[in-house]
């Protein structure tokens, strides 16, 4: 396990209404925490930003490489944070590849609505796919910022902001 990430997080129980989603959530968080995808500095990134959550100490950098046609060719992250933060960043970088900047912005908006409880994946059409495992995080307000830090940092990077904070 990478020592730059805290690995002793207690995983959340996300609602009692869907035990299969709860189990999938826990398995997904564990897998992406142990084996994060795209955990590296991205050489040749066209967009980058630093994100920080001063309440819990999550601190990361998000890198995005956008081609001349406005398509995200690659995305990566590095930094330190809890298992939820790390898993969210890992899954985010996977989901961004091949998307246009506009599609990335739609994912950002949908993910934000999901984690604050405004988007119900079973009721509202969306483009989230596997990211829907975070659908119950809104029940734990302190963890919403953990899950969304990387997304706000990516959004900031695309808007050419250098530093993003959850506060």
- Which sequence spans correspond to the domains of the chain? 19-165
Mean pLDDT of 48-59: 93
pLDDT range class, residue 23, cuts 50, 70, 90:
low
Rounded to whole angstroms, how far apart are CA atoms 22 and 123? 18
Tell me the whole-structure pTM to 2 decimals: 0.85
Higher pLDDT, 111 or 12: 111
The pLDDT of residue 20 is above 80:
no
Nearest by Cα to 113 from 87, 135, 91, 85: 135
What fold characterizes domain 19-165? Answer: Sufe protein. Chain: A (3.90.1010)
Asked whether residue 94 carries a pLDDT value surpassing 60, the answer given is yes
């Amino acid at each position: 396990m990478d020592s730059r990430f805290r690995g002793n997080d207690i995983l959340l129980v996300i609602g009692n209404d869907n035990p299969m989603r709860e189990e999938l959530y826990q398995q997904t968080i564990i897998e992406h925490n142990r084996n994060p995808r795209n955990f590296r500095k991205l050489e040749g990134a066209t967009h980058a930003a630093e994100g920080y959550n001063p309440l819990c100490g999550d601190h990361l950098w998000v890198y995005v490489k956008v081609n001349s046609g406005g398509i995200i060719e690659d995305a990566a992250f590095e930094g330190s944070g809890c298992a939820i933060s790390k898993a969210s960043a890992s899954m985010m970088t996977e989901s961004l590849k091949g998307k246009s900047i506009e599609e990335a912005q739609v994912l950002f908006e949908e993910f934000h609505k999901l984690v604050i409880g405004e988007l119900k994946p079973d009721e509202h059409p969306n483009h989230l796919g596997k990211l829907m495992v975070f659908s119950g995080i809104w029940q734990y307000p302190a963890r919403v910022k953990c899950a969304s830090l990387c997304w706000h940092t990516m959004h900031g990077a695309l808007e050419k902001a250098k530093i993003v904070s959850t506060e």
